[in-house]
Structure formats: structure tokens, C-alpha cells
Structure 1
Amino acid sequence: MPGTKLVKVLNLSDAVIEIDLTPNRPDCLSLIGVAREIGAMEKKKVSYPQIHLPETRGNISELSSVIIEAPDHCPRYAAQLIEGITIAPSPFWLQNRLLSAGLRPINNIVDITNFVMMETGQPLHGFDFDNLEENRIVVRTASDGERFTTLDGKERILSSDMLMICDGKKPVAIAGVMGGLNSEIENKTTRVLIESAYFEPASVRNTSKKLGLKTDASHRFERGVDPDGTIAALNRAALLMAEIGGGTLIGGLIDEHPVIIKNSPVSMSVNSVNSRLGINLSQDEMADLLSSIEFDVQKTNSDYLKVVPPSFRVDISRAEDLSEEVARLWGYDNIPVTFPSMPSEPARWSKGFEVRNQIKDIMCRFGFAEVINYSFISPSFCDKLQIKIGDIRRRLLNILNPLTEDQAVMRTTMIPGLLETMGRNLSKQNRNLKFFEIGKVFFSKGQDVQPDEVEMLAALWTGLRNESSWHEKEAVCDFYDLKGAAEGLLDILGIKNPVFTAYEDQDCDCTIPGRTAGIVIQGTIIGFIGEVHPNTLESYGLKQNAFIFELNVDILKNLISDDKQAQALPKYPSISRDITIIVNKNIEAVSLINSVRNMDEQLVEDIFLFDVYEGENIPQESKSISFRIVYRSSQETLEDEAVTFVHKKISEMLLKEYNASFPA
């Protein structure tokens, strides 16, 4: 009709739909694949192209053959042969279809392979049969350093893990990626060998990545094509080449498939899927949804379905994959919106997390800075710390691929990290240091076994007790400064009456005997505190005294009570009395304090040490110890007589139990 637009008359008007795909859906990289999805949504069946091969002559097995030498890379390879082909430009409809898909028309044979690839998702390749040496195909891996020129005219250097398509003497294509310049279809080509194969996705992906060569074929092969679709695509291409190219199809086909690829059945629980998705579909409804996309579905009982995915669905291997298909086909918009149940009480951190944060907060308030060191340390730390043979801290777990030799094992103590941090600071003239670290140590149970992990706290104090100021003399920190910090930490955590008991000489390694104490709580040793041994300082290149403690946090947190009780302020005043006795110098003051506490006198509120003296007027093997005892009654104001009676009783007990005496 006059006035009709030319594009309509020539049927040039077409709608182009762009579809974004996730990598797990290679089946939709084709017109038929998209049609399947639309058919399922519209509840209609897909009409597949009808393939009626033309008359043939001869038999391809008499003219060619295929040998697969690398079946792990190429499970299936099929081929057909057409003779009498005329190479020419493709008809308009074919060129128009390719252009609408973003492909450049080349000639009728190459265009047909591209058209069938876009239609079925199966990449194809056409070889000039007369350029194939010995007229046969050999599928093998390349040799290291082998060179090959691809269709784009670039020479590629190959490696031994790359799969090649070869003739009787030379490579003619990089399998699944690109053909070679030596066998391309030319204007003089009259015989074409059509390749349709299934290549292992990982093999194609590796080759494409190493060569930096991405093609439409590799994009599909590396995601996984339909292993059962090779013959249908091959016949479709042969039919079109015979019709458009005017050739004659040689009878039969070559189909080598040394490895059979089949999808395994997947068992799916209907109740589990409904629970997971928050829907309420029946078994029949789920079966119908999966059948609409060509899944083979059978009922095994009232709840379970046995589902065999079609060969083109290479992404289905477990029940969760089927859940996704049910949700997609049912419609995400049809899944009801629900909100998670909100507990009436807010969630609480675990006790370990709370204790860890509480320790950090307390140590920071005491003026310590937190440091974080690597868990990987040098295996030489055992010798530097003078750790004895057989000690648990020598159970080292080796790192299989250490970054450096100094990070070759997992730490079994926090001390090396603190000493190294001290060394770095001293080298920058930072000499007054108070820092701590809390973290895991690791004790090996064998190189192939998960190690024991223990959370530890370690602290180090070196330099001056306080920062220099005009109103206070400089004083170097000592053992009792760090001991006070440890006692303060335990007191705030609610742990009462920790015992600091002297270590025997054989128990000391990195600290000085006589200046080291074990920290005991309720009869359990949770760590130690002491002055760093000069040999250890020297091994780390340190020229300044330091004091350290290390506590087992995993044990400590179990000793912390969750119960907090308030006590009323005392109504009546207290009375303090001092007691000084002379005892053997090897007796610990804490033993005397514990003896007083064990008397369980109701009027004794507190007892603490305030002086220890050795020297003039004291026997050589003895020392003078002075305590202050605080007395208080919760019911009345104390009279002198009552306090004197109890005080005398305590004094007599100490004199008798420890063979002590009063100063002269």
C-alpha cells in the first residue's frame, strides 16, 4: 500500500531484547534456552526446529576419523562432512538475524555455525576439509612452548594443559576457543567438516584465561554446554549448509564419546522446600512446575520427589538448586513477606566476649596500651625464653607456607611479641612502656590435627613508675607495681584473695628466680608474674629491665561469677591493730595472711601486709613482717577489750604455727 514504511514492507522492523544472565545459567545463552523459560512462565510448550536431513551419499567413516587422546578434556566430539559447497554471502534473513544479535556476517558457512550457536547454545566450527592433513581429527593437549596462529592472525604460545584440535600432523584449532588460520573457510573451499563437541568447562576456562582470549564459543564452553545437544546442533547446521551452500551431505556421522556425562537424580522434600521458602505448595504443584522446564519428576512417597535434571541444566546438583527453581517458577512476588521474630530481651554477648572487653577496659584504665602482634613467630623463641625441654610451650605448630623464617610457627606464649614490641619502642627512644595483649596461643596436637587454642592475657611494664614531673622524683617501676596492676585487675573482675606464691627455681625460664610468682586462684594456677631474666633480655637485644605477667583467660573467665550482690555500708566504725613478728625468711607473707583468714573470726574485716624488713637487729635467716588487721562489728561499736582479746588470739596462733617471735 502506498505510504507504508519501507522497513515494514521489507520486514526490517524487529524488537531486540537484552537479557542479563548469571554465570550458572549457560542454558539460557541461546534462543531455545530463553524460549524454554518463557514457555514455563506462559505455560506453553516450546516448538523446536524441525530437522529433516537431505539425501546423502557415501559414508563419512570412509573419508575421515576422529581420535580423542585427552578424554578428560574432551568427553565428546562429533563431526559431519558436506561436499560441493559454494562459499558466498549469506541470504539477507540470516545476516539480519546475526546483526540483531551483535554478530558480524562473514560468509554462509561461518554464519550458519554462528546462527546455530545462537539458536541452540552449542558452539560449532567449520574446517576446510581439504586443508586437514590426512583428512582426520586428533584431539590432544599441546606441548609446552608450542606455537599456533589463530583466526585473528595472532601467534599464541601454548602450554601442556591446553586442549588442541589437530589434523594428522598439525594443530588446526584451540579447542573451545578459536580456530586456526591454517584451516579457515575460504572462497575456494568446497568441502567442510563440521565440528560439534563437548569440552570440559574448566579446561576451556583455563585456556581462555591463560591466552587472554575470550570468544562467544569460550563464553559458552567454560560455563557448560548441553553434552546431549551436540548431535542435534550438528544436524541443524548440516541441514542449513546443504540448503544455503548448495552442498551434498555425506552419509553417517562421527560421534566419539569415551566419557558419558549424565545428570544424577536429586531427592527433594516438599515440606523442606515449603519451610525454606515460606510457601505452601502441594507435591503435585511442585512436580508440575519442575516438569514445565523439562525436568523428569517422579514421586517416591508422600513428601519426596525424585528429580532428574535435563542434560542442558548443568547447574542442578542438590535439593537447594531445586528450591531455587520452584521459587523462581512460582514467582518471587507470590512468596509472602514475613518478618523475623524479635525476642523480647536483647541478645547478650557471650561471656568470653564480655570478659575480654572488660579486661581491655580495665587495663587501659590502669594506663596500659593494647598491642596486637602476629600469631606467627620465629621457632627460636623457645631458646630465647629458655623454655625447658618437655614444656607444653615447645609443642609448636609449623606454618606450611610461612611468609618469612621469623613467622614459621604458631605462638604458644604471648611473651615474645611483647618483648619484640618493647625492642621496637626502645629503638625509637620510647623507654617508659606499659602495654598488654590479649589473644590466642596454639599448642600442636600433630601437624594434620586442629591445635588446642587457649586465650591468654600478657602485660609488660618497663621504665619509670610515673612520667617525670617537677613535684615528683623519678622512680623506676618494680615487681610490685606490676603485681598491683594484676591484683587490681582481678579485684575489679570480682575475684577475691588471689595468691601470689613464689616459684621454685626450676619453674622459672624467662624470669629471674626469687623474683617470680605463680598466680593462684581457688587452688588453680592461672599464670605467673616476674622480672624478665637478663639472659632473655640479652637474647632480644634489650638493655632495660622489664616485668611481665601472663594469665590464662580461658580459666579466668570460668572463675568469674555472674552473680553480683550489693552490701550495705557499715554502720559502725572500724578499729585497726598492727602486729609485727619475726619468722624464717623462707616463709611467705601470704601464708600468714591465709592462716588469719582461715580462723574465720567474725570481727576481722580485712588484713594486709604493710612492711617487710631484713637486716640490722634481725637474725640472719629471719625477717620481720608487719600486718594491719581491721576489726569491725556489724551489730555494735567495738570495745577495746573485745578487739584486744581477738588480736591476742591471732598473735598467739601465728607465734605457735610459724615458730615466730616478737621483735625485741
Structure 2
Amino acid sequence: MKLSKKWLNDYISLNVTDREFALGMTMSGSKVEGYEKEGEELSNIVVGKILELKKHEDSDHLWVCKVDAGQPELLQIVTGAQNLKVGDYVPVALDNSVVSGGKKIKKGKLRGVLSEGMLCSLEELGLSINDFPYAVEDGIFVLGDDCDKTLGKDIKEAIGLDDTVVEFEITSNRPDCLSVIGLAREASATFGVPYNMPEIKNKGGEGEASNLLKVRIDAPDKCYRYAGAVVKNVKIEPSPRWMRERLRASGVRPINNIVDITNYVMLEFGQPMHAFDLRYLDGAEVIVRTAKEGEKITTLDGVERELSPEMLVIADANKPVAVAGVMGGEYSGIMDDTTTIVFESACFNGTSVRRTAKKLGLRTEASARFEKELDPNGCLMSLLRALDLVEQLGAGEVVSGVVDAYPKVKESVRLPFRPDYMNEFIGINVSREQQIKYLESLDIKVEGDEIIIPTFRGDLQQQADIAEEIARLYGYENIPDEPLKGVAVGYLTDYQQFLKDTNNLMLSSGLTEIITYSFISPKAYDKICLPEDSKKRKSIRILNPLGEDTSVMRTTALPSLLTVLSHNYNNRNEEAAVYEIATEYEPWESDDRLATEIPKLMIGLYGANIGYYELKGIIEEYLEKIGVSRYDVRPVKDNPSYHPGRTAEIVVDGKAVCILGEIHPKVLANYEIGTRVYAAEVDLNTVYELRNTERTYKPLPKFPSLKRDIAVVCDKATPVLSLQRAIENAVGKNLESVKLFDVYQGEQIEKDKKSVAFSLTLRAADRTLTDEEADSAVKKALNALSELGAVLR
């Protein structure tokens, strides 16, 4: 929103600098993006009068002028303009002046004749023909009667190019500030200076508007109010300079008096308006309705647009004449031969306008305002202001009365006034009287213990909103800094700490964390070889997916893990060790419930020195440190995504908590991975449920340990964990630890057999063990292993 300081000064007298104004408004909540003075780059350009014109002796198109520019001596200036005559007042760029675009002017010779300056066109002043319609577009700007013709006067003051333009960033919840009056109200509250509303004098003329115009609202949910007025004997001509100046400073191009009045009122009151040529309204009737299927309209920009039934239009008895809140129709606009017009001041549903503008690809100054939900109670005042300006400008004869359709009147919101709550909520101490003063400066009334909020402040709905108004006028910078007094101490829940510990343990194992999307392609289930009747194929579909590859919520995170490993492998990363705490989404039988979210620890490895036992070691270390010490390892042969002979599951108290093993070669081929990949899926909820979090004290050992290694040969199918459990049970309390350190299959071992080697650490808590006791423990272990068919190698 661009604000003309000159325009603002019509409503409020502020004795502050531009910088103070910008800072004050920003600190009170109306953020100023910046400000600039019009014509600031122009310098040393003054008003001059042409006293003499004669042809250049050495040119057929140049003229030599004698100019009185209010200087001690007359100036001689050479010009090529053909629109000048003696007695014209013109802008004169003196020696060492600067014109628009930063171009410097110095005296010099043109074809041998001295030129002591330059006569300026509108373009050289940074203006256009819209700013001064009577000027010659490609000639020198000749000042009209609406300019100050004092010789030697700075041209910026002479033609009104001396305004300061302040640009505000207005938030979407404050459409009332998209107006000069709204910002005047904010300035009044900020600087404690009263502001004045413009005085509206509307005499009216012969006739009655209701006899010339009928208005009907057929879609009251999308049009809250529609007010219209009629002006006869319209005279289409340029607007006066003061109006053109304000429109220019506000970033709006002046067109003609009627169009400029609608734009002027929009900027002044924040209410978009439109003017229709009454002769193009069939039946002299305005019907606010939704568009019909297949209906089309050619808008003011000359583009034919097809409408859809949810779009709101302004129609006459036969056709749409405007897209409501967006743009008028081609034949609804004001033309040079227009004689009778209808002024429209309406309030439309913001959501409807936004959707229509977006669908048509047509966003206008009006739609940008309507989108923010305007106040229907402001329509009539804006309409009367337009009629007042018509009479001021002599632009036509106003017909008495207005036609106003207002199905449901918007009432003011009322809230209890609680001064003590405001102080406590904000953390300040402001008297009741001062709080009332703050609120009333914003036109918010306080009657006893009740606050009456004006309807143009739709953003104020609750006590906290009122507290914010008081706080910003009190000054956020004036609120003392105090440390937080909260008694609640932030902490992680037990489950959050469990996930954090899981993350840290994976990192300490040398794995790299990955984060993948929770949505995948349904084709991913084929790539991991899931059977057609697998429950995991029943996924939740995304209603508006980015594409087929991200169209379902994953029921297994394995495709996401393999996609990452495939990317690394195909980018020539020779080894990878990654993990993710991923979420899988299991749908309910009924569609009216959200999916069950199952957190899984996913681990993936590949590389020259990486195999099943490296993966198993990571899992075992994780379980041990997380609090799961007793578990069984069982072979798995029915998981289609894993190799049937190289996959196992870890079971704790009868519950499977993890599957780990080598990925099936078919799956690897589907992901274009040409090496063995080992993966694990850990059900974190089950691990969390079964872990033992009790801490027991164990003193540091006082006596040395003894180590013994044993290697046995057993059937290839015998689980290593069974052998380990047999050793633990046989040796008893003096066994401190037993660790697998080798598994061998080869020429020296019979077919279908394997060699398994364990390292035993023995220690007694009350004495030093003897070699005989250590040998006895080994003998017990071997006897237990023999029962499983294992013999000493």
C-alpha cells in the first residue's frame, strides 16, 4: 500500500519528520517498507517563460529561444521541439542540472550556437501524458493553468511533484489499513493526534435512483451487500490536478474523471468500486448471481473468459456484465460517449473472489482487497463519497437516493472489558482510563464494562486481540524485559529418550543416518517381491499426490532403504552403512480412522568386508545396550524379500523384534544393485516394551580373569546361539562372557558341517581361579556342546 503524505495531511496534522513517521508507524504495528520523495533525483530545474523564438541558422528543425527563468540574466536555449510559442511557461533545466534517469545537463553549443540549458518534456521530469493530459506527449511540457508559473520556482513545487510516498506492508488481517483513512486512524492512535473524516456533501438532483435501477442479490452467501447510485448527464474529461497527483503517488494511473473517482474512493476508503454505463444494462437491472454453465464474458482487458457455476457475476436481465469483485465486462466500462452511469459499491465473499481470480488468472487491485474480507457497512459511505466527488468535479448530475440491497446486516462484536486481565496478559501496568484512551483512538468504543468493536475490525474477536491493540499502542519497546517465570522444566519422555539412545547407538556403530519420504510408489511392493495377497500391499492412498512415485503411504520402509543403497551403489560408492528410524503406516479396516504409525529401525549394509555377522554384531550390541539381554535367533525362510538361507529373526519372550539377513538376489536385481546387501528391520515399539531398564550395581573385579578358546565342529544347521546358550548354562556363575570369534566352512571340514570358535572369559568374584578350575569349566562346556552334536575340533 502506497500512501501519499500530502493526502494523509488532509485528515491529520502531524508535526514529525518522514523518518519519525515511518519508525512510529512501524513500531505501532503498521510496518513501513520504505519511503521516497517524488522527483528526488531532479535538481536545478525551474519554471521559465519563452520570450523569443527564432530559427537556428544552421538547422531546419532547431529553434533558438530566449528564456526568462528567474535568473539574473536571460538564457539562450536551443531546442528541437515544434510545439512552442512565445509566452509559454516551460520547465527549464539550468546548467549543471539533473533530469529523470540521472542525466546531467550542462551548457554547450548545438551546431555552433550556445545553449545554456534544456527545455524539458514530461518524460524528462519522470512523468507521462496521464499526469498532464493537456500536454504534448512528444514535445516540451507547456505548463497549464493548474501549475504555478512563478518564474524561477523549482519545477517540483510548481507542478506538484513534491509529495512523499510511504510504502506499507499491510497484513491480510488488516484490510482496513488498505486505505488512506485507515492509515490516518492508525497514525492518530500512534502519535496521539486526532484525525478527521472527509466531509461528504451530497445534494442530489432530480428523480429517484430506485426508479432508474433495480438491484437483486440471488447469492447472499457470496454477496453480503450491493449498493448502487445513478449519475446522469455525465461529462467525461480529465480529473483535476490534485486528484491526478494523489492517484499517481498511490501508484494508480489517472484515466478520466469517472474512473479516477472510483479509484480515488478505493484508495481513500479501501472500498473497491465500479462504474457501469447504464445503457448497456439490459432492463436497467443488476442481478448478483452465480454464473451459468458454459457462460462467457469478455472482460475490460479484451479477453474472453469462460465462467464456471461457482463464480459470482454481476448480471443484467440477459447476460453477465462483470466478474464480481474482479473485473468489469468489456461493455460495462466508461466510454467517451457515456452519459448515464451506475456506481457500484458492494461487498463480496473473500474466499469466492480469491478462487474466481485464481481460476481466471486475473488478479486485480479490487480482488486483492475483496480477498481479505471487507466490511459491508463501509459500502454506503464509499458510495456517497463518490457522488460527492462527482458534484465537486462537476462530472454529472447525481440522481437522488441510492439502491441498497443488504440481506443480513453485520453487527458489531461485543466483548467484556477487563483492564486487569489486559495488564496481566501483557505484563504492564496501565490504568483503566489509559486503556480506554488507546481503544477509543482506534474507534473502538468502551461502554461501561463492554467493548464494542467496529465492524471494519474483523480481526478483533477475543480478549487476546484487544490486549494486542493496547500493547502496540503502549509500545512494545516500553514493555520491560523480564526472565521467564515458568515452573515447568522441559524434558524428554521415556520413549523419546529411548529413540534418542537408539539414534546415538547407531551413530556410535559407524552408521550414517538417512531420512526418506513416508510415501512411495505402489510398484515398490513388486520390487521387493511381496505376494499379491500380502497385507502390506493394502496402503493408504494420498488424495492429491505429487506423482505416482509418491502416491501411497508405505507399509514397509524396506523399499525406501533399498532405494538409498541403490543410489549409493550406482554412484560408485564402494561401501555403505546406513540407518533410519522410519515410520510405517498400517491402515485400519475402516477408512474413518487414521493409520497406525509403527516406528522401525532400518539398517542397510554392503561392501567388501561386510557380511551377515557384521550386521548381527551391530544388532546384538544395540540390544545389549538398550536393555535386551536374553533372546533367541531363529532362521527365517518365508520372507520373500530376504535370502531364504541367510536370514534370521531375533525373538524375545516369544515376540519377534527383528528380522535380519541378506536381501534376496531378485530384489537386488530389481534395484540394480550388483553386490550382496544385508538389512535389518527392528520393531522399536516391541523392543521398548521388552527392554529391562533396571540398573544393578556390579563392583569392579578384584581378581584377574582367565581366557580359554574352544572350537567345535557341528552340523551346518545348528544355530550358533544354541551353542552359546549351552556354554552359558553349563559353566555357570564363573563365566563372565562368551563371544563368537570365528565360523569356518571349507575343505578341512566335512560337508554340511561348520567350525565354530568361542572365546570364554572366566572370573570369580571372591578369588583367583586356578588353571584346573578353568579347564574344568571348559570340560563342562564341551560336554554340554556334545549334547547338541558338537565335537571338539
Q: Which TM-score applies when normalising by structure 2?
A: 0.66
Deviation at residue 181 of structure 1 after TM alignment:
5.1
Which of 561, 565, 586 is matched with 1:443 structurally?
Answer: 586
**Alignment check: 8 A CA contact 1:377 1:409 kept:** yes
Q: Which stretch shows the higher mean deviation, 396-405 or 89-98? A: 89-98
1:516 — aligned with what?
Answer: 647
Question: 1:119-518, aligned counterparts within 5 Å?
Answer: 119-142=268-291, 144=294, 146-150=296-300, 154-160=302-308, 161-180=310-329, 182-186=331-335, 188-209=337-358, 215-242=364-391, 244-245=393-394, 248-265=397-414, 273-282=422-431, 285-297=434-446, 307-340=451-484, 350-352=496-498, 354-364=500-510, 373-379=516-522, 385=528, 393-394=536-537, 396-420=539-563, 435-445=578-588, 446-462=590-606, 464-465=608-609, 478-490=611-623, 493=625, 495=627, 497=629, 499-503=631-635, 508-513=639-644, 515-518=646-649
Is the partner of 2:559 in helix, strand or coil?
helix
Q: 1:196-248 deviations in whole A, cap 9, x for unaligned?
A: 22223334444555556555444433334331122222223323424542755
Q: Aligned partners of 2:388 and 2:743: how far apart in 1?
A: 108
Q: Aligned partners of 2:477 and 2:792: how far apart in 1?
A: 92
Question: Matched residue pairs, number?
Answer: 636
1:572 — aligned with what?
Answer: 704
Q: Aligned partners of 1:180 and 1:619: how far apart in 2?
A: 94
Shift in alpha-carbon separation, 1:76–1:519, aligned structure 2, 3 A: same
2:228 — aligned with what?
Answer: 79
Which residue identity does 1:631 align to in structure 2?
A: L
Which residue identity does 2:472 align to in structure 1?
A: R
Which of 590, 594, 618 is matched with 2:721 structurally?
Answer: 590
Deviation at residue 20 of structure 1 after TM alignment:
0.9
Is the partner of 2:469 in helix, strand or coil?
helix
Q: Aligned partners of 1:583 and 1:5: how far apart in 2?
A: 114
**Alignment check: 8 A CA contact 1:131 1:182 kept:** yes
**Alignment check: 8 A CA contact 2:714 2:791 kept:** no
Which residue identity does 2:213 align to in structure 1?
A: S
Q: Does 1:47 align with 2:196?
A: yes
Q: Aligned partners of 2:200 and 2:340: how far apart in 1?
A: 21
Which residue identity does 2:704 align to in structure 1?
A: Y
Is the partner of 1:548 in helix, strand or coil?
strand
Shift in alpha-carbon separation, 1:176–1:267, aligned structure 2, 3 A: same
2:170 — aligned with what?
Answer: 22
Deviation at residue 194 of structure 1 after TM alignment:
2.3
2:761 — aligned with what?
Answer: 630
**Alignment check: 8 A CA contact 1:56 1:249 kept:** yes
Q: Aligned partners of 2:695 and 2:739: how far apart in 1?
A: 26
Q: 1:526-568 deviations in whole A, cap 9, x for unaligned?
A: 2022344456556667675544322224444673759697863
Q: Aligned partners of 2:776 and 2:570: how far apart in 1?
A: 60
Q: Aligned partners of 1:618 and 1:103: how far apart in 2?
A: 94
Q: Aligned partners of 1:315 and 1:193: how far apart in 2?
A: 32
Q: Which TM-score applies when normalising by structure 1?
A: 0.77
Is the partner of 2:410 in helix, strand or coil?
coil
Which residue identity does 2:553 align to in structure 1?
A: M
Q: Aligned partners of 1:199 and 1:245: how far apart in 2?
A: 31
Q: Aligned partners of 2:567 and 2:398: how far apart in 1?
A: 81
**Would you tell me which structure has more strand in proportion to its own residues?**
2
Higher relative contact order at CA 8 Å, sep ≥6: structure 1 or structure 2?
A: 1
Q: Aligned partners of 2:488 and 2:288: how far apart in 1?
A: 67
Q: Which stretch shows the higher mean deviation, 541-550 or 198-207? A: 541-550
- The two structures, once aligned, show a CA RMSD in angstroms of 4.8
Q: 1:373-431 deviations in whole A, cap 9, x for unaligned?
A: 54333445556656579876455333334445454433333333444555566667777
Is the partner of 2:213 in helix, strand or coil?
coil
